Amino acid sequence: MRGVRVNWVRSAETCGLFALAVLATATLTGSTPLLPVLLVAAVLTVTISVGVAVQTGSGALTQLAAGAGITASAWLAYVHHAGIWHAAALIMWALGALVYTVAGAIAYAKHLVVLDKAEAEHERARNTAELRRWTDMLAGVGIEGVTATRVVKTRVGHTITYTLPKDGTVKIQTLRDVAERLDISRELQPGSTEFGVGRHAGEVVMQSRERDVLKDAVPYPMDLSPLTINEPFDIGWSEDGSLCLILFREVRLIIIGETGAGKTNLLNVLIAQLSRCVDVIIFGIDIGKSGRLLAPWLRPWINKQTNRPVIDWPATDRAEAERVLASLINLVKARSRAFAGKNAKIEPTAGQPTYVVVIDEAADLFTTDETREYRDKYAEGQPTPRVLSWLATQIVNKGRSEAVDAIIGTQRSVASHVPSNIKSQCAYRIGLGTTTIGEAANLMPDSPIAQKIMAIMRHAGTGVVWRKDKRPHADKFYQLEDPEIIARIAEHVGDHIRPEPNEFDRAALGSDYASRWQRLAPLLAEWSDMADASQQGMFEQIVAQLPDPEAGMRTWQKRAREIVGKHGRVGVRPGVVLRQLDAENITVDRATLQRWLRTQANDGFMENTRHGMWRIKLHDGGQATGTDGR
Ligand SMILES: Nc1ncnc2c1ncn2[C@@H]1O[C@H](COP(=O)(O)OP(=O)(O)OP(=O)(O)O)[C@@H](O)[C@H]1O
Ligand SMILES: [Mg+2]
């Protein structure tokens, strides 16, 4: 019989145990009078039978339990007179156990079938009620004859399949017309109900969004495994619960959003994902906020906590930006000469990487709206917006096949903020929430759906990813702005993933590239945790005020303390201290150093940060507690 599960083993176990218990009772009660034994057996039989009846509700199982009790009592009475240890008694005992094993197994299997049926019935009733609820919901707004046939729960709400009446009185448009009324009657956000075509003209699929997934922040998932630019990577979640993926290779990306919409945050997410790519080298330009975007990505390298910087060439002023852009154009030209007639385009690899220039606050580079504020920013002899626009346009137009790409973030997409030649080359466009409908129309002119979605988004970090051939939807981008988290990513990728330009690329990028760190030394010093002289002075003062931490210290401990102190607020790993001591011919084993560091922490002289870094503990009352993110 299909669906019947006969569990012989279980039945044999239960009946076998019962039979053994009966046998033991018979042996133990051989000399006691029969009546009390039978009385106890009767009470047990009734109790067990009632228990089975209540537990299973099965008549057959209850009868079996009662039958087993009575049979056992009868056998006990028989052996009380006739004795146990002879063939007839033992055969009866064994036979009883066997019969009840078989009967029990079958009865239990049948009981399971009944249970399954009841469950299925219950499920059907529930489904019918659920379908009726969705059918009635449409009836509630005056749509009759449309029946719900399938309901699926999703991450954000429900997807319901409806069958339209065969006479054609209700069409999909009829339903679309009532979508807004459904939102109102169900107290949902505007635009939460959408109707789409099903498998045929008579079927409609309704998407009902009941939860605003765009509201909650989604932290950047700290998966730091290596990626490649040749495959899509995720930058957040789509509203329907799927990952928001972009395939960045060969595309330029423009990000538009008002102040506070989340541009810099999204650029951080993009830098994080690109920094995991083994075949991408990242340059960065951030003029407007003097490197607010770039500094956190470089700081761990400046502080010598990692081997390579995430941003291989940062620019925070117009002159440096010009050098970055001009060098990239040289690279594009050199690559196109070298590869002419060989490959149509470069396949990015770790040895032949893609270059991506990330630009925040692009309007500060390109704008030709010379307000007084902007004009003041141009120093004499610095490149003008026209020059920079021209350079960036060259890269965007010609870089594609040479694996030189750009990501551009700016507040508005009008031509005065970002050259229209650049915008038109951007196959990926991300409009962040709170952008005006006019701005949305300018950014994604041919996509009314995208414009509509943008118009209803209200939370920072939400946006629409637009690509010509893709249906746009609302997305929530990961949140990534905590400098400590950025530092963790930068440390990891700097030690394990970041590639370097090959010799050919270096030559093409030229002397401006080669000499960038010398030129940028003052900027790096400013971004470093230790370089600020006034900070350092204050820091030393505070150390001086501490209760003499060096009292009774050995030479290596004094030196270790100095090394930890040198690393300032960022702190240092024990391994680095060990290496430094070793370089100075001071030998200490790791366990001893770690024990000592812990003692120092217990005594309030040092502290261990969340990332396993050790630093000198500053005490309240000193002016320098809680240094800012610098
Ligand atoms: N994905 C996100 N999830 C949650 N909150 C976010 C997200 N993105 C941004 N925010 C919030 O919005 C604030 C502003 O973000 P951000 O600085 O990135 O905006 P912006 O567009 O660069 O602004 P500005 O034009 O001033 O530079 C952040 O401090 C954060 O609180
Ligand atoms: Mg910003």
Question: Is 498 within the bounds of a domain?
Answer: yes
pLDDT at 550 over 70: no
Question: Is 606 within the bounds of a domain?
Answer: yes
Same domain, 156 and 49: no
pLDDT of residue 444: 82
CA separation for the pair 571, 300 (Å, rounded)? 11
- For the Cβ of 528 lying below 6 angstroms from any atom of ligand 1, the answer is no
Domain ranges, residue 171:
141-209
pLDDT of residue 91: 95
- DSSP letter, residue 221: P
- Last residue of one domain, picked from the residues 185, 209, 233: 209
Nearest CA to ligand 1 atom 26: 259
Q: Higher-confidence residue: 605 or 576? A: 576
- For the Cβ of 284 lying below 6 angstroms from any atom of ligand 1, the answer is no
Same domain, 283 and 199: no
Q: Which candidate, 537, 575, 580, places its Cα nearest to that of 556?
A: 580
Same domain, 408 and 270: yes
- For the Cβ of 477 lying below 6 angstroms from any atom of ligand 1, the answer is yes
Q: Higher-confidence residue: 120 or 556? A: 120
**Which ligand lies nearest the alpha carbon of 255?**
1
Same domain, 228 and 308: yes
Same domain, 236 and 369: yes
Same domain, 63 and 196: no
Question: Is 540 within the bounds of a domain?
Answer: yes
CA of 353 to the centre of ligand 1 (A): 30
Question: Is 84 within the bounds of a domain?
Answer: yes
Same domain, 537 and 508: no
pLDDT digits (tens, 9 = 90+) for 362-375: 988 887 666 655 55
CA of 409 to the centre of ligand 2 (A): 8
Same domain, 477 and 551: no
Same domain, 99 and 38: yes
pLDDT at 242 over 60: yes
CA of 388 to the centre of ligand 1 (A): 26
pLDDT at 554 over 90: no
322 burial level (CB within 10 Å; 0-12, 13-18, 19+)? buried
Average pLDDT value over all residues in the chain: 86
Cβ pair 314, 520 in contact under 8 A: yes
Same domain, 595 and 453: no
- For the Cβ of 257 lying below 6 angstroms from any atom of ligand 1, the answer is yes
- For the Cβ of 585 lying below 6 angstroms from any atom of ligand 1, the answer is no
504 burial level (CB within 10 Å; 0-12, 13-18, 19+)? middle
Same domain, 440 and 537: no
Taking a 5 Å cut-off on Cβ, the residues next to ion ligand 2 are: 263-264
Nearest CA to ligand 1 atom 11: 460
pLDDT at 19 over 60: yes
- For the Cβ of 265 lying below 6 angstroms from any atom of ligand 1, the answer is yes
pLDDT at 4 over 80: no
In sign, the C-alpha dihedral spanning 233, 235, 240, 241 is: positive
Q: Higher-confidence residue: 249 or 290? A: 249
- Last residue of one domain, picked from the residues 502, 526, 550: 526
CA of 360 to the centre of ligand 1 (A): 13
CA of 360 to the centre of ligand 2 (A): 7
Question: Is 77 within the bounds of a domain?
Answer: yes
Instruction: Return the minimum-mean-pLDDT range out of 260-264, 269-273, 288-292, 482-486.
Output: 288-292
Give mean pLDDT, residues 89-98.
Answer: 95
Give the whole-number percent of the chain exceeding pLDDT 90: 55
* Ligand 1 pocket mutation, candidates 213, 259, 265, criterion most atoms within 8 A of CB: 265
Sorted by sequence, the CB contacts under 8 Å of residue 148 that are 6+ apart come out as 131, 132, 134, 135, 160, 161, 162
Name the band, by pLDDT with cuts 50, 70 and 90, for residue 343.
low
pLDDT at 122 over 90: yes
pLDDT digits (tens, 9 = 90+) for 424-446: 888 889 999 766 777 888 888 87
Give mean pLDDT, residues 252-274.
Answer: 94
CA separation for the pair 231, 333 (Å, rounded)? 26
Give mean pLDDT, residues 411-435.
Answer: 84
Give mean pLDDT, residues 474-491.
Answer: 95
pLDDT of residue 377: 58
DSSP string computed for 335-401 = HHHHHTTT-SS----SSS-EEEEEEESTHHHH-----HHHHHHPPTTSPPHHHHHHHHHHHHHHSGG
The token pair that represents 619 in the structure block: 């005490």
Nearest CA to ligand 1 atom 4: 217
pLDDT at 538 over 70: no
- For the Cβ of 217 lying below 6 angstroms from any atom of ligand 1, the answer is yes
Q: Which candidate, 232, 345, 245, 304, places its Cα nearest to that of 487?
A: 304
Most confident of 364-378, 574-588, 592-606: 574-588
Question: Is 126 within the bounds of a domain?
Answer: no
pLDDT of residue 533: 42
- For the Cβ of 219 lying below 6 angstroms from any atom of ligand 1, the answer is no
- For the Cβ of 213 lying below 6 angstroms from any atom of ligand 1, the answer is no
CATH code at position 310: 3.40.50.300
- For the Cβ of 262 lying below 6 angstroms from any atom of ligand 1, the answer is yes
Nearest CA to ligand 1 atom 16: 262
Q: Which candidate, 357, 401, 133, places its Cα nearest to that of 267?
A: 357
Same domain, 78 and 201: no
- Last residue of one domain, picked from the residues 178, 209, 240: 209
Question: Is 45 within the bounds of a domain?
Answer: yes
CATH code at position 580: 1.10.10
**How many Cβ atoms are within 10 Å of 101's Cβ, its own excluded?**
21
Nearest CA to ligand 1 atom 31: 460
The token pair that represents 512 in the structure block: 């401006």
Question: Is 456 within the bounds of a domain?
Answer: yes
Domain count within the chain: 4
- For the Cβ of 521 lying below 6 angstroms from any atom of ligand 1, the answer is no
Q: Higher-confidence residue: 522 or 490? A: 490
pLDDT of residue 43: 96
